[in-house]
Amino acid sequence: MELIEIISKADLAERQQISRKNIKENLQTLSSTEEQLDYQRNVPHVNIIDELVCGWFDDTYWPDDKIFRSGFSEEELKAMSEFSQIFEAVLASVQNEVPQIEAYVKAPEWARLLQAAHIALSVFQIRDDN
């Protein structure tokens, strides 16, 4: 029996709400050069690129988890998947760059990431506005 089949409705709703909040916060940061640079200024001893990557791929986006998926519409799941693919492609294309956020935000590839995050975030806004 899978966890999603035995978890209480209240626990499921709470996990879905937390997942939605975390995804939206991550996409907001990933869509904003200003937020990324502020993050670096506020936590100068941390590699912000690593934090953004870990925040998305390890801590927030779990596309194979049924509980995670249950909290999102098909459009949102598609938007997250497309964003994730772009994020992976951008990381692969800039992997030889200096690993500092200040260098990354100037790369044309990083502009592609910002745009993709903004587009994914806009899909969430549609649901939130209804």
% of the chain beyond a pLDDT of 90: 58
pLDDT digits over 28-63, tens only?
999 999 999 999 999 988 888 889 999 999 999 999
- The token duo for 53 is 């990557």
Tokens 């925040």: give the residue: 55
Mean pLDDT for 11-23 is: 91
pLDDT-wise least confident of 7-16, 60-69, 94-103, 121-130 = 94-103
Q: Which pLDDT does position 99 carry in this prediction?
A: 63
**Which among 65, 64, 61 is positioned nearest to 87, based on CA atoms?**
61
pLDDT-wise least confident of 24-33, 43-52, 102-111, 117-126 = 102-111
Residues with Cβ within 8 Å of 51's Cβ and at least 6 positions away in sequence, in order, are 39, 43
Q: What pTM, to 2 d.p., does this model score?
A: 0.86
75 in Cβ contact with 123 (< 8 Å): yes
Residue 98 has pLDDT above 80, yes or no: no
